[in-house]
């Protein structure tokens, strides 16, 4: 499976992306339910690393555990799922502010070091998904037996 690299820091947006976001923000001020996107959102995530492991923490309050998925390989992780809207659309009232995003989400993250896919743990508690990856040793020397030929 191929993964998309996510750049941290000074990302270069696609041409027109800023303009589309500005238009969306303008219309959301008039009608908070307005959106140009296709119902996708990106949960906020932290990635940090120690000498032995890599830890990913993803904020996804309101997402049910059964609506979450995690796929990994030795170099990357894919976190995906959906958050279902809690409020019905046909309420007798007017939205004054609607900032919480609903719908499907998907994040691909390249990990900073190769990991042992057999030693991954994931815990979902209080709206936070904690994933711990054990790093593969990079400087480990393996002795290879030489047979007679």
Q: Tell me the pTM.
A: 0.66
Indicate the range of 44-58, 66-80, 135-149 predicted with least confidence: 135-149
pLDDT tens for 72-111 read 988 899 999 999 887 766 667 777 787 888 899 999 999 9
Taken in order 9, 62, 66, 134, the sign of the CA dihedral is positive
Burial grade of 108 (CB within 10 A; 0-12, 13-18, 19 or more): middle
pLDDT computed for residue 45 by the predictor: 95
Burial grade of 60 (CB within 10 A; 0-12, 13-18, 19 or more): buried
Domains and CATH numbers, the chain: 39-85+98-135 (2.60.40.790)
pLDDT computed for residue 143 by the predictor: 82
- Would you say 126 and 59 are in contact if contact means Cβ atoms under 8 Å apart? no
């Amino acid at each position: 499976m191929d993964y998309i690299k996510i750049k941290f820091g000074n990302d270069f947006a696609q041409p027109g992306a800023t303009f589309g976001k500005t238009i969306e923000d303008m219309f959301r001020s008039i009608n908070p339910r307005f959106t140009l996107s296709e119902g996708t959102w990106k949960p906020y995530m932290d990635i940090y690393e120690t000498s032995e492991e890599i830890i990913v923490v993803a904020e996804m309050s309101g997402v049910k555990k059964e609506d979450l998925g995690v796929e990994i390989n030795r170099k990357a992780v894919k976190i995906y799922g959906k958050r279902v809207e809690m409020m019905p659309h046909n309420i007798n009232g007017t939205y004054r502010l609607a900032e919480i995003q609903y719908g499907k989400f998907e994040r691909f993250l390249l990990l900073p070091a190769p990991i042992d896919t057999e030693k991954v743990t994931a815990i979902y508690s209080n709206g936070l998904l904690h994933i711990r990856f054990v790093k593969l040793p990079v400087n480990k020397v393996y002795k290879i037996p030489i047979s007679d030929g």
